[in-house]
């Protein structure tokens, strides 16, 4: 039987859509076809529509989700609007992929879960690092450990523009209405305050927003590899002009995890998850996703008798976003449950809060 091609509606046409999602979908014509686009920038909608020959164009997400022939909606816009757009899509019987973070509050997460169940659709969170072939293989190795003794999770990067500016052509226009910019600012403050109980402007408030962004990838991957921590032993936040760094020690009862993350002005991307047993360690080394075909590597160190072995494995050049979208296609067409569900994401919200609470002690 011939495989169906799913019609995609895309909400949000910024950097990640232009650099990643549109090229990935264009390279999978046997699975997906972009049939509708939406952005609050009218000129950007026109530009992308003209460039890729997409006729159905919207500046209101609530209108895109009504289009009858759209099967799947990709929610790629600013995270303050993720829940609203995902619920609207689900209520119109569309399957949904939401870029991380899925949302900012538990109430939003519960509303997305309820909309998914009410409408019988699939909702998947876009944690592409968990679909990288090296990560999947690493989890299999870790599952074979007799005992985990230690783990490290690290993500320290420079500005995304350092990578994008040298390798991609991204278009933007100064035509977003001021009232929409103000609405986004107000939503960000309101949702952040609801999630943390903190006043906007507090460094801990800003830390929560940082964790929902960059760090959500790392913490989600960590949970899949080794589970949810019991708590946070201690954490330290360091903020300087143009940089932010966090160090935390996570308690797993029989072992601990060092979690370090931050951002500054250096043009590098240093992200990995490494898990140790007594005689073997497994490390997944990520590179910037904005240069799509840089390989994610699996590094294995092992001692057997007198022999110490180091292996560097590159399972594939296929990028994690493509692997993620293949999985999403199978989830819809084969009625599967994705591993990055809205229910799974709620654990990340709990973990963000645990870390922020520990920093304030």
Among residues 154, 140, 146, the alpha carbon closest in space to that of 280 is found at 146
User: What's the structural domain count of the chain?
Assistant: 2
* Judgement on whether residues 158 and 266 belong to the same structural domain of the protein: yes
- Residues 10-49 pLDDT 10s: 999 999 999 999 999 999 999 999 999 999 999 999 999 9
Q: Is 1 contained in some domain? A: no
* Judgement on whether residues 166 and 273 belong to the same structural domain of the protein: yes
**Residues 295-299: contacts with CB within 8 Å, 24+ apart?**
295/134, 296/129, 296/132, 296/133, 296/134, 296/135, 296/320, 297/134, 298/134, 298/137, 298/138
- Cα angle at 222 between 322 and 80, to 5 degrees? 65
Q: Is 190 contained in some domain? A: yes
* Judgement on whether residues 110 and 137 belong to the same structural domain of the protein: no
* Judgement on whether residues 143 and 106 belong to the same structural domain of the protein: no
pLDDT at 177: 93
Among residues 47, 40, 30, 35, the alpha carbon closest in space to that of 61 is found at 40
pLDDT at 1: 64
Given strand 32-38, what is the order of strands in its sheet?
A: 56-58, 32-38, 6-11, 72-75, 95-99, 123-126
Q: Is 244 contained in some domain? A: yes
* Judgement on whether residues 336 and 348 belong to the same structural domain of the protein: no
d(CA 32, CA 30): 6
Q: Is 168 contained in some domain? A: yes
* Judgement on whether residues 156 and 113 belong to the same structural domain of the protein: no
Q: Is 44 contained in some domain? A: yes
Q: Residue 294 has which token pair?
A: 């840089």
* Judgement on whether residues 287 and 145 belong to the same structural domain of the protein: yes
Those residues with Cβ within 8 angstroms of residue 334's Cβ, 6 or more apart along the chain or in another chain: none
pLDDT at 213: 92
Q: Which residues of the chain have pLDDT under 50?
A: none
Percentages of the chain per state (helix, strand, coil), in multiples of 5: 40, 25, 30
CATH number at residue 308: 3.30.360.10
* Judgement on whether residues 233 and 256 belong to the same structural domain of the protein: yes
Residue 10: strand, helix, or coil: strand
d(CA 211, CA 196): 12
Those residues with Cβ within 8 angstroms of residue 332's Cβ, 6 or more apart along the chain or in another chain: 6, 71, 72, 95, 122
* Judgement on whether residues 165 and 283 belong to the same structural domain of the protein: yes
pTM of the predicted structure, to 2 decimals: 0.96
Mean pLDDT of the chain: 96
Domain of residue 80, residue span: 6-126+325-341
* Judgement on whether residues 139 and 26 belong to the same structural domain of the protein: no
CB contact at 8 A, 54 and 34: yes
CB contact at 8 A, 64 and 42: no
Among residues 121, 113, 41, the alpha carbon closest in space to that of 89 is found at 121
pLDDT at 115: 98
Q: Is 103 contained in some domain? A: yes
d(CA 51, CA 45): 10
* Judgement on whether residues 171 and 193 belong to the same structural domain of the protein: yes
CATH number at residue 69: 3.40.50.720
DSSP letters for 304-341? ETTEEEEEEE---SS-HHHHHHHHHHHHHHTTPPPSS-
* Judgement on whether residues 198 and 234 belong to the same structural domain of the protein: yes
Q: Is 96 contained in some domain? A: yes
CB contact at 8 A, 38 and 61: yes
* Number of neighbours of residue 265 by Cβ within 10 angstroms: 9
């Amino acid at each position: 039987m011939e495989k169906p091609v799913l019609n995609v509606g895309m909400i949000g046409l910024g950097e990640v859509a232009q650099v990643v999602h549109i090229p990935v979908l264009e390279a999978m014509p046997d699975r997906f076809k972009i049939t509708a686009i939406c952005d609050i920038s009218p000129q950007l909608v026109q530009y992308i529509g003209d460039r890729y020959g997409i006729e159905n164009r919207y500046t209101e997400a609530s209108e895109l989700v009504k289009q009858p022939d759209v099967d799947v909606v990709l929610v790629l816009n600013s995270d303050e609007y993720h829940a609203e757009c995902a619920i609207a899509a689900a209520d119109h019987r569309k399957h949904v992929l939401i870029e991380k973070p899925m949302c900012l509050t538990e109430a939003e997460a519960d509303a997305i879960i309820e909309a998914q169940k009410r409408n019988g659709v699939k909702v998947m969170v876009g944690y592409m690092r968990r679909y990288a072939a090296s990560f999947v293989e690493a989890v299999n190795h870790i599952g074979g450990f007799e005992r985990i003794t230690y783990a490290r999770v690290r993500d320290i990067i420079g500005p995304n523009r350092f990578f994008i500016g040298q390798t991609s052509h991204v278009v933007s226009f100064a035509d977003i209405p001021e009232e929409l910019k103000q609405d986004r600012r107000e939503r960000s403050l309101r949702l952040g305050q609801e999630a943390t109980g903190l006043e906007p402007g507090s460094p801990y408030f800003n830390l929560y927003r940082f964790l929902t962004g960059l760090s959500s990838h790392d913490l989600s991957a960590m949970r899949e590899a080794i589970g949810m921590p019991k708590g946070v032993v201690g954490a330290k936040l360091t903020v300087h002009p143009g940089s932010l760094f966090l160090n935390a020690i996570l308690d797993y009862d029989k072992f601990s995890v060092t979690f370090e993350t931050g951002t500054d002005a250096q043009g590098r991307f240093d992200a990995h998850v490494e898990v140790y047993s007594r005689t073997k360690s497994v490390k997944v080394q990520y590179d910037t996703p904005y240069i799509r075909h840089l390989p994610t590597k699996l590094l294995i160190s092992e001692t057997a008798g007198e022999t110490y072995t180091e292996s560097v494995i590159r399972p594939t050049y296929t990028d994690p976003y493509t692997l993620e979208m293949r999985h999403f296609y199978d989830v819809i067409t084969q009625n599967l449950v994705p591993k990055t569900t809205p229910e799974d994401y709620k654990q990340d919200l709990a973990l963000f809060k645990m870390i922020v609470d520990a920093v304030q002690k």
